[in-house]
Structure 1
């Protein structure tokens, strides 16, 4: 009779317990058969009895283990449910806190929205790890060898910078138009208007992002062909097909969402304080050679949300 030894779950333990019960019954039946067949006193049935009793004890212990495992499974299920409930309440609390804080200060950045600083920084990191890598690999295959890896990296960085500056310009113009519609005057400036009005304008821009973003992406795909400094990469791809279209659209989407914070999130392409702002791409060292991907700041001259990527040089090597 085969007995399982690969016990992993409560179900496996239940099977093993049943098999041992069958084995114990089998041994006890064999003892009775031997005693009826051989009526001899000197046959040592004591050891067989001991084996049967041992199986009974093991079966009892397995029953206790099975009860403990089932109890642990119930505890884990309850713990999982409590975690889900806690997360749901935390989201509600964060949302309520945002509303309460904004009632006292319109400068408080939203806590729960998609376009908060942390989510935007994570999206930018994902863009670098996925779409940027695909774009770089494709460009390296299509572009002639006289164009260096640094040229391609700087071109991809400048595509993001171009999208970032264009979205800044579009957002500012949109704010001005909304402000003129609200105040019915050309005398007000978006920089010196009341904070509550500026916050409401930002909220209106967020609500209309699903309508405005496709138009912004289309304009940038058309206008980027005229940028001479980006032609080494752009001309080797089709702006309406992946991977260039995917990279352009993602750059535009992320930088467009950056404009809806108050104050707006900032991309830092400068090489100042390089060791703090950037992590090395392939080589680390004290000297920064060029920026591969920008750092993300909470606002102008604000805290760092995420580090950028740069290529360094170590003269000692």
Structure 2
């Protein structure tokens, strides 16, 4: 550090160096400017030509682009006009298509409704055809069982057996005191057999009037109508039991000539047995075809025999099997006395007025009552068949004996019985 009052020796020299530097820089700048000026002057023509070419070249390009834009605008206007016409045409076509579509929808709805009607007609036709086939199969055909029928033949057979086990037993207990055993059995057998004959005739009367006066079988649908009437008759027949039982009671009481028997017939046990017989017999005769009872050596008192050729022949029940074919099973049958089996013909041909030959005991048809034997002594309870000449539904009950002939008995029936113990 120098002493105060003395100047630094480096100051002037520093200022000279700075000035020199500035001067040199200025000279260099001036030299560069001169060179640029000289280059511009020497290349002025080229530069002017370049600018001219650039300016007028771009102008032509811009003009070309403007022309192109104009053409594009004109093309766009034309295209828009064309598109608008197409849109108008499409809108018109769409309206037509929409109207056609609506018409087709309406037609489709009509076809759907028509299809529904046709399907209903088809179902109805199939139903009617099925009913016709069903009617033809079921009408008077025991081989087709109606499982909806609570009183079909097999069920009636069960009820008929229960009738013997219950009501018959009670009624027999009432009669076995005043009457001999066989006479009591004859009375009860007569009640059930006469009830069947009575019910058969009672049902046949209105049925004959209906079919002969109001049903023309040559008219289409007559068979279905007849089958419907048969089914309706059976469905409503139980409502007629009380009225028919009263008619039956009046009829047998008018025929009965024995006061003691008449008094017994009016007892509660007998009335209950008689009512049950009427109910079951009405159901049997209104079954299609009717269920039948068979009782050899029994003849109806209320309906006399119309067959002269068989009056001396030991016979089976008027309710037995007979005939073939598809006749109207609800019409009244001619009352005939026929044999139980063909093989019994030789046995009964030589019957005399002094002694009556007995029928062989048919174990396929009857069960033994209290005695067994080769021959049939008397029937206790009738056999039940599916229909005329049909299958056996339930066996009857009969008394057997070993005696081939029996002594001549006094003529008696359950309505004129006078013997008592």
- Specify the TM-score bucket, using the shorter chain as the normaliser: 0.5 to 0.7
| Cα distance in 2, alignment partners of residues 199 and 175 from structure 1 | 12
Matching residue of 1:19: none
Q: Structure 1 CA distance, aligned partners of 2:199 and 2:166?
A: 22
- Residue among 201, 212, 215 paired with 2:229: 201
- Say if 1:106 and 1:195, in contact at 8 Å, map to a contact too: no
Q: Is the 8 A contact 2:256 2:262 kept in 1?
A: no
Aligned residue among 369, 377, 390 for 1:281: 369
Among 247, 257, 261, the alignment partner of 2:273 is 247
TM-score by length of 2: 0.45
Superposition pairs of residues 142-221 of structure 1, within 5 angstroms: 143=178, 147-180=179-212, 182-183=214-215, 195-221=223-249
Give SS of 1:279's match: strand
Shift of 1:194: 5.7
1:102 aligns with 2:113: no
Bigger fraction of residues in helix: 1
Q: What's the secondary structure of 1:283's corresponding residue?
A: coil
By how many angstroms is 1:180 displaced? 4.9
Structure 1 segment 285-296 matched on structure 2, within 5 A: 285-296=373-384
Counterpart-to-counterpart distance in 2, 1:208 and 1:172: 15
Rg (Cα) greater in structure: 2
Partner of 1:24: none
Count of aligned residue pairs for this structure pair: 207
| Whole-angstrom CA distance in 1 between matches of 2:150 and 2:265 | 30
The residue aligned with 2:161 is: 125
How far apart, CA to CA, are the structure 2 residues paired with 1:158 and 1:233?
17
Stretches of structure 1 lacking an aligned partner (at least 5 in a row): 1-97
Which residue does the alignment assign to 2:45? none
Q: Provide the alpha-carbon RMSD of the alignment.
A: 2.9
Unaligned stretches of 5+ residues in structure 2: 1-129, 297-315, 317-339, 342-361, 405-421
Distance 1:293 1:158, change over 3 A: same
Are 1:309 and 2:397 an aligned pair? yes
- Give the TM-score normalised by the residue count of structure 1: 0.59
Name the SS of the counterpart of 2:398 in structure 1.
strand
Counterpart residue number, 1:235:
262
Distance 1:215 1:206 in 2: 16
- The C-alpha deviation readout for 1:228-248, integer Å capped at 9, x for no partner, is 48x587423252x41011011
